[in-house]
Amino acid sequence: MPLFHDRALEEHHILITGASGGIGAETAKVAIQTGSKVTITGRNEEKLQELTDSLKGKGSINYVAGDLIDQEDRERIVEKASELHGPITGLVNSAGIAFGATLEELQEDDIRKVMELNYTATVLFTQLVYRQMLQQEKGAIVNVSSLSGLRGTHGNIAYSASKFAVIGFTQSLAIEAIEHNIRVNAVCPGFVDTEMAQNILKKKAEKQGRSFEEQMEWAKGTIPSGRLTSPEEVANSIIYLLTDAAENIVGESMKISGGNVMR
């Protein structure tokens, strides 16, 4: 059942990164139900095309494939998105990679890769979109951080550090942006039932000599609600933060973890 009015984001243009799958793809599905124009981006053009085709009959959606690490791609994505649907009024920074390693296992290149996409590229891409929002004196930005951006966990140094950085970026930009009627917030999901999370569980299962099914049951057992969060639940939270219903929510980090934040 749709949670939002079909005109909740009418006359808005939402740009979603990391939309090749997982949270980004689900956010596009929810966004299109609100009447907004949607542009999705990611590195996997085939998946972007599939998602766009599946939503074409439900609203106005297009994709622009590209790599956020590349400056020319970042500029091209924003330029093309604006040509397709006009000025961007909402940005969802969902692109990111996961990487698990203890300090002893960590390599310099690992740190660079994780920080470059999860933090640096996010900041630089936001900068381009933010300039448009400043001209309009309105907008909303939602950064997808993580529960790992609020607390450290074993074997998660590079990823956790990158997501802590996203929280710092969110809060600092929120203070600057609200002066121009632009709201900036973050969502901090715990374990979400995505391909990325499943790959993490598979690697942990291998390290600990368990089957994937056993590792999944173990993961569920660590969450008070007894289950993983669905991508749609995260997407609903993101879209809420983009709507006028959240007009006085500024610089917040919304936790979506089934209670896992308390453990």
d(CA 158, CA 153): 11
Which is the catalytic residue, given 63, 119, 130, 159? Answer: 159
- CA separation for the pair 192, 23 (Å, rounded): 8
Strands (E), 57-181: 61-65, 90-93, 139-144
Q: How many Å apart are CA 99 and CA 161, to the nearest integer?
A: 11
The per-residue DSSP string of 42-73 comes to ES-HHHHHHHHHHHGGGS-EEEEE--TTSHHH
Helix (H, G, I), strand (E, B) or coil at 161: helix
Side-chain-side CA neighbours of residue 72 (13 Å): 0
Active site residue 119: no
Catalytic residues: 159
